[in-house]
Amino acid sequence: MSGLLLYHPDCLLHVPPRPHPEKPERLQAVREALERAGLWDRLPREEPEPASLELLELVHPRGYLDQVRRASREPGVWLDPDTYAVEGTWRAVTVAAGGAVRAVDAVVRGEASWAFALVRPPGHHAGFRRAMGFCLVNHVAAATRYAQERLGVRRVLVLDWDVHHGNGTQEVFYRDGAVLFASLHQEGWYPGTGAVEETGEGDGEGLTVNVPLPAGVGDEGYRTILEEVLIPLGDAWKPELVVVSAGFDAHHTDPLGRMQLTEAGFGRLASLLQEAAGRWCGGRVVLVLEGGYDLRGLSRCVEAVLRVLAGMGGPAPAGHPEVPYAVVRERVRQVRRVLSTYWSL
């Protein structure tokens, strides 16, 4: 069984009214890179249907969605200092959410072994009633809720490896006892949330895992976090589905981050996760594009991850400089100390 790539050209309709890092050229650059590499036609691909209002209401209240729809009838509205809406925005966000939902649907139903939703605008900063950080609708949250409520999936691991904390996704699942949400992000960075001590409440206590990382962490540091924190958590949680907020702005060339990951490093993260998911849930992994604002870096990272997932191998390790190993080890100890209240790792 092969994987599945979800893409819809209407994601390009969300066009900034002034120069902005979140722009249609992001997807265009990725597509062109995949075409040059021969992957665009080689990988199975679908154009998803737009997500319905009923489906989006699994996460966002109707009043908020109506606000986004109204803003999308104007030539340019700013919903926060960083987040815009234009006449094509509603169509773009609904096909983006539809791509994430279809990716989950295909993997859970056994139509694909893995799926990657190549969509924009990103979604992981969008909370219940708030657009922020370039995000208007939380695609990963909507797809996860769909898996829970329509497909009967009982335990989901949502991993966010974007350089920015996935505060909107955390908000949605903070009290949910069926979702283990883990975020690897640059500490002290936008939006300022995601401290180690934020661990969930109520039924979700202990199921929010934040790993804020100092600037300069790269391939080896991220691998260490996966091997010593995230994969042991997954072994204990035994998710039935893994959903990744796959941002690539932790790449060393990205203008909106200060991390040192390479495309080979991202490929290894995908490989480690795919291998672990083989034990947990028959390899059911869905990735949904979030950030990534250096066009060449973004394209190379997506290509590397797709090659790994498709069993084609990834790029050779680059040996890019990063912070000393001892820095990452200390952060691992801090995180494991906090989690020891809830988990035996």
Distance CA 123, CA 137 (A): 5
Q: Write the DSSP assignment of 199-229 as a string of letters.
A: ---GGGTT-EEEEEE-TT-BHHHHHHHIIII
Distance CA 45, CA 227 (A): 31
E strand or H helix at 160: strand 156-160
Q: Is 320 a catalytic residue?
A: no
Given 8, 60, 124, 125, which residue is catalytic?
Answer: 125
Cα distances (angstroms) measured from residue 223 to each of 158, 180, 219, 266: 17, 19, 6, 9
CA angle 330, 332, 334 (to 5 degrees): 70
| Nearest partner of 197 among 207, 187, 210, judged by Cα | 210
Catalytic residues: 125
